[in-house]
Amino acid sequence: MTTQTHIAVENPATGEVIGHVDDMTAQEVGELARRARAAQPGWEAMGFDGRARILKRMQRWLTDNADKVITTICAETGKAYEDAQIAELSYGAAAFGFWADKAPKYLADERIRSSAIFVKGKRLVLRYRPVGVVGVIGPWNYPLTNSFGDCIPALAAGNSVILKPSEITPLTSLLLAEGLAECGLPDDVFAVATGCGPTGAAVLDEVDMIMFTGSTATGRKVAMRAAERLIPASLELGGKDPMIVLADANIERAANHAAYYSMFNCGQTCISIERCYVEAPVYDDFVARVTEKVRAIRQGVPAGPGSIDVGSLTFPPQVDTVERHVDEARDRGATVLTGGHRGPDKGYWYEPTVLVGVDHDMACMREETFGPTLPIMKVADAEEAIRMANDSEYGLSAAVFSRDLKRGEAVARRLNAGAVTVNDALINYTALELPMGGAKPGSGVGHRHGPGGIRKYCRQQSLLISRFNPRRDIHMHPYKATRTRLLGRLLAILNRGVS
């Protein structure tokens, strides 16, 4: 008889243990998968309308239980109330309605037209079938948006889903599983597999498709295992997202976006601003404004709406990464204009930090920091900014600021990133119609959102339907019938060509 082991869940802002979850074994995950596979055909058979009714009930459940959901997210991530409200709860509520409404359109049968003479007069159809059981391995920075959020389109497509949330932030997923059950989701269609790395590996070994969000290093391992099993994988990985400020930009707007979107969720956002390139004529003005704004940020333990601007870091080793990047830059001649230190309190803290005097050989400009830092680099012109922005293994997102929209868009089109905003940052993620994914291997493979964001959870099936002519077909030898039909079509085409 084996003894169930448990994982302690901490509030990273205080260090307090707020709960325990099971560390599930491979055998337990296998049982979840067996039950999910058995439940999936019934869920698929409910059709788009039946599934949409449950998803829209869950949309209402989220808004009805908003405070409970936000409090849970804040407690296990350490993020500010507004960060959880804007980027998690609002996203989740929108996603349930969006996928309920769009699944029938995005997955509708498509009539295919062909120029092949041998299929003339036949009906050709492309349809989408759910893959079966989808595995989602989620990150710790957004337990609703980037963990549970990927389950919503998979469910809307008719799949069963096993979610393996980060062992750092599993409580939100368990709470939302309760919500789905209350909203009438059939048993075993959705399951949460709590645990550490071996639990995630077990999920990967049981499912028919895997969606992974996390580090590039772990993403490579997931991709290799998926390839061994010959199952599809969608991977959203690292980012080192650049912001380019051209000399004709509205500097106040650019500074506001740089300060807010570099520090949002304490910098722990895959598409946050991680490095800034500013044309020389406006560099000093931009740096002064950003530094003033970042210095004014209120950081502390979240205690409800309006209490703080930025919370703590969520993952303990992330503090070490942020400190290493800042200390290395400082040792090599960079200047810290504000911040630059670990927090003294319990929990996982690092001050919002602005760095100048950086160069492109520093880790803070090349490696994903995933923390509350903003290194700012002076460039001679837009060409140097584009070259520096593209000099990265990552290509997830980018931003360009210019009053000249034509010029701003021209620069944006030359950036090797999956999504580029002009005079904005990050909010492209809220447009669920717009695909979001990396343009370079370091940032992953595949997209979320848009038609591809649900079709990836499906297999394509081609149908070819022929009419039946009893007078011509029923008494004729099959070989002769086939030859006669093909010859007739060829002659008809040749006659049209001659005429």
Residues annotated as catalytic (active site), given as ranges? 236, 270
* Burial category of 248 from C-beta neighbours within 10 Å (exposed 0-12, middle 13-18, buried 19 and up): middle
Give the SS3 label for residue 158.
coil
φ, ψ for residue 336, nearest 5 deg: -90, 115
**171-182 and 66-77 helices, crossing angle to 10°:** 160
**47-64 and 171-182 helices, crossing angle to 10°:** 120
- Residue for token digits 């001649």? 333
* Encoded tokens for 66: 């908003």
Give the count of beta carbons closer than 10 Å to the beta carbon of residue 327: 15
* Encoded tokens for 83: 């960060």
Beta carbons of 221 and 233 less than 8 angstroms apart: no
**In sequence order, what are the residues at sequence separation of 6 or more whose Cβ sits closer than 8 angstroms to the Cβ of residue 127?**
109, 110, 460, 461, 463
* Encoded tokens for 473: 């077909």
CA gap 40, 187 in Å, rounded: 10
Amino acid symbol at 265: N
Q: What is the DSSP letter of 185?
A: P
**280-295 and 251-263 helices, crossing angle to 10°:** 50
Beta carbons of 203 and 162 less than 8 angstroms apart: yes
**In sequence order, what are the residues at sequence separation of 6 or more whose Cβ sits closer than 8 angstroms to the Cβ of residue 245?**
251, 254, 258, 276, 277, 278, 279, 282, 286, 401
CA gap 158, 39 in Å, rounded: 11
* Encoded tokens for 5: 């082991």
CA distances from 41 to 242, 250, 300, 374 (A): 45, 55, 48, 49
* Encoded tokens for 323: 């400190």
* Encoded tokens for 68: 């409970």
CA gap 242, 375 in Å, rounded: 10
Angle at 286 between CA 383 and CA 404, to 5 degrees: 50
* Burial category of 227 from C-beta neighbours within 10 Å (exposed 0-12, middle 13-18, buried 19 and up): exposed
